[in-house]
């Protein structure tokens, strides 16, 4: 019985994560500008991977394997914003007319 519940939960989390990842890919092709596309890409990085990792955690018995999965998720959460930030910075720094693509605001 417990095995079944665990299987269903794992499948649900994995499918949810997969759906988010696919939405990220779809978003990349729907948006037309680099920075807009990056938003779609960061979806897969954050929630998609977290859901997949959660599903894998539920499917495992070994505590150490679960901890390794959590470690992977934590490192991804730490590293993905850094690289995203660099890409965004490069785009804004090299774009001569950013006002064509977005509205500039000062608060």
Partner 1 sequence: MAVLFFALWMILNGRITLEIVLFGIVISGLLYWFCVKFLDYSPRREWQAIRLIPSGLKYAWTLLCEIVKSNLAMLPLIYSSRKPEPKLVTFKTPLKRKSTRCILANSITVTPGTISVYLEEDTLTVHCLDTAMADGIEDLEFQRQLLKMEQMLEEGTKK
Angle in degrees, 0-180, between the axes of helices 34-43 and 2-30, rounded to the nearest 10: 180
Please report how close the Cβ of residue 95 comes to partner 1 at its closest, in angstroms. Answer: 10
CB-nearer residue toward partner 1: 42 or 59: 42
Interaction of residue 85 with partner 1, rule CB under 8 A = yes
Kindly report the backbone phi and psi dihedral angles of residue 61, in degrees, each rounded to the nearest multiple of 5, phi listed first.
-95, -35
Interaction of residue 75 with partner 1, rule CB under 8 A = no
Q: Where is 14: in which H helix or E strand?
A: helix 2-30
User: CA–CA separation, 68 vs 64, rounded Å?
Assistant: 6
How many residues contact partner 1, by CB under 8 A? Answer: 42
Which of positions 27-56 make contact with partner 1 (CB under 8 A)?
Answer: 27, 30-31, 33, 35-36, 38-40, 42-43, 45-47, 50
Tell me which residue has tokens 């939960």: 9
Give the torsion sign (CA, 86, 89, 91, 93): negative
Tell me which residue has tokens 């018995």: 61
Interaction of residue 92 with partner 1, rule CB under 8 A = yes
Which residue ranges make up the site for partner 1 (CB under 8 A)?
A: 20, 23, 26-27, 30-31, 33, 35-36, 38-40, 42-43, 45-47, 50, 62, 64-65, 67-68, 71, 77-78, 80-82, 84-85, 88-89, 92, 98, 101-107
């Amino acid at each position: 019985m417990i095995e079944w519940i665990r299987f269903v939960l794992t499948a649900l989390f994995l499918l949810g994560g997969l759906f988010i990842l696919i939405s990220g890919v779809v978003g990349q092709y729907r948006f037309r500008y680099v920075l807009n596309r990056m938003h779609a890409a960061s979806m897969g990085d954050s929630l998609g991977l977290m859901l997949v990792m959660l599903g894998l955690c539920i499917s495992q018995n070994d505590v150490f394997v679960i901890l390794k999965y959590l470690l992977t998720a934590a490192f991804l959460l730490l590293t993905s914003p850094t690289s995203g930030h660099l890409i965004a910075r490069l785009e804004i720094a090299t774009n001569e007319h950013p006002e064509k693509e977005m509205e500039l605001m000062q608060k």
